[in-house]
Amino acid sequence: MGSSLSCCGTEKVDEVVTLVGVNSPWRIFSYKELYTATNGFSEENKLGEGGFGSVYWGKTTDGLQIAVKKLKAMNSKAEMEFAVEVEVLGRVRHKNLLGLRGYCAGTDQRLIVYDYMPNLSLLSHLHGQFSSQVQLDWRRRMKIIIGSAEGLLYLHHEVTPHIIHRDIKASNVLLDSEFEPLVADFGFAKLIPEGVSHMTTRVKGTLGYLAPEYAMWGKVSESCDVYSFGILLLEILTGKKPIEKLPGGVKRTITEWAEPLIIKGRFKDLVDSRLRGNFDENQLRQAINVAALCVQNEAEKRPNMKEVVSLLKGYQPKDKVTQMRMESVKYGEELLALDQGSDDDDDDDNDPDESKGYGVFGAMEVQKMPEPRIRRGDRRIM
């Protein structure tokens, strides 16, 4: 791929399209070919709709099942999403990242072609059309957690320049026939020049997953993805949405709900009840502790994705700092155990003094920033 897109995203789009490498595993599709494959982009073929357009299932003449993202408007934002996605996808190749199968860039059309993922998005299993079928048993959940973490590790540490995804969430994790996760949707991704620790940008992403320093000040670094990953991790383990609407219209974040339970060590109350108690307790503890580290308010305290992956795989932290951070999560538990004796029946999870005194994430100001502009029914910020 050429480098006509810099990290700041103000560059021309046309060049990107012409710079696609000849030896890449993907190709340019004609509009006619994609039109035929998707049955004329018919409603029956529609898989879903995102901020920038609709996605259609299709089958090419050589039998390949594809998903075609058709950008709905040819405005500058859609152009930029297309250009960034093609640019970034051209650079990455990893088993847990949804790669590019091809694209079509006509004068008034922009389409991106991916492999079709038969188990659709993680969102559809956690909260959507498949949620009642409970296809995500404990083993599959751990596979999805570790696989997505490995995809992110690759983006943060193994590609040059490093890539920040900026929109890690359940609808952007797709599942193949074996429930192997593939992180998708690189339209908001940012390339980080070497030696740069963070940048300040306009906020993009999805409410509920945004790191506080990014949501409030636009300060973006790999650590923002770590925060979003922590929210995703809590979501997968607990089955809760990142932001829940309580009766009366009050909104509660997943961290607000989880923190008192984590502090009390009530792991069985945290885990998704749809698992009916079928989970590995040690893995759950470790994964919850990792999530607690990732969603700390102070970016510097969060682990990086290398640490996250090894902790999730059950390794004990080698370096003192992470060891201490893990201990501080447990320490919160112990303090409460001392404070409350063995009073396991105390179910006053929302006692504000508890989270003030022993908070594991820092002051609970997460997502309490002024509401940014929100599009349609979802919470994506563009």
Ligand X SMILES: Nc1ncnc2c1ncn2[C@@H]1O[C@H](COP(=O)(O)OP(=O)(O)OP(=O)(O)O)[C@@H](O)[C@H]1O
List, by residue number, the catalytic residues: 167
**Member of 45, 96, 148, 172 binding ligand X (CB under 6 A):** 172
Question: From the CB of 91, what's the least distance to ligand X, in Å?
Answer: 19
Strands (E), the chain: 27-28, 46-49, 53-59, 65-71, 102-105, 110-115, 162-164, 173-175, 181-183, 190-192, 199-200, 205-206, 219-220, 243-245, 251-253, 380-381
Residues 52-91 that bind ligand X (CB under 6 A): 55, 67, 69
**Member of 120, 144, 152, 262 binding ligand X (CB under 6 A):** 120
Which amino acid, 192? I
Which range in 41-49, 151-159, 255-263, 362-370 contacts ligand X by CB under 6 A?
41-49
β 243-245/380-381 pair status: unpaired
- Contact (Cβ atoms closer than 8 angstroms) between residue 48 and residue 114: no
- Contact (Cβ atoms closer than 8 angstroms) between residue 190 and residue 87: no
Question: From the CB of 282, what's the least distance to ligand X, in Å?
Answer: 33
| x/- letters, 313..332, toward ligand X (CB under 6 A) | --------------------
Instruction: Name the residue nearer to ligand X (CB basis): 204 or 264.
Output: 204
Which range in 21-29, 169-177, 238-246, 318-326 contacts ligand X by CB under 6 A?
169-177
- Contact (Cβ atoms closer than 8 angstroms) between residue 86 and residue 3: no
Instruction: Name the residue nearer to ligand X (CB basis): 57 or 361.
Output: 57
Examine residue 103 and tell whether it contacts ligand X (CB under 6 A). Answer: no
Kindly report the length of the chain: 382
Radius of gyration of the chain (CA): 21
Q: In the Cβ-directed half-sphere of 111, how many Cα atoms lie within 13 Å?
A: 29
Using left for φ > 0, alpha for ψ between -120 and 50, and beta otherwise, residue 159 falls in beta
Dihedrals phi, psi of 339, to nearest 5 degrees? -65, -35
Q: Which two tokens stand for residue 360?
A: 């594991």
Size, binding site for ligand X by CB under 6 A: 22
Examine residue 96 and tell whether it contacts ligand X (CB under 6 A). Answer: no
Is 70 assigned to a binding site?
yes
Instruction: Name the residue nearer to ligand X (CB basis): 13 or 47.
Output: 47
Question: From the CB of 205, what's the least distance to ligand X, in Å?
Answer: 9
Question: From the CB of 171, what's the least distance to ligand X, in Å?
Answer: 4
Examine residue 174 and tell whether it contacts ligand X (CB under 6 A). Answer: yes
Question: From the CB of 270, what's the least distance to ligand X, in Å?
Answer: 26
Which amino acid, 104? C
Interface ranges with ligand X (CB under 6 A) = 47-51, 55, 67, 69, 98, 114, 116-117, 120-121, 124, 171-172, 174, 184-185, 378, 380
Binding residues for ATP, by number, are 70
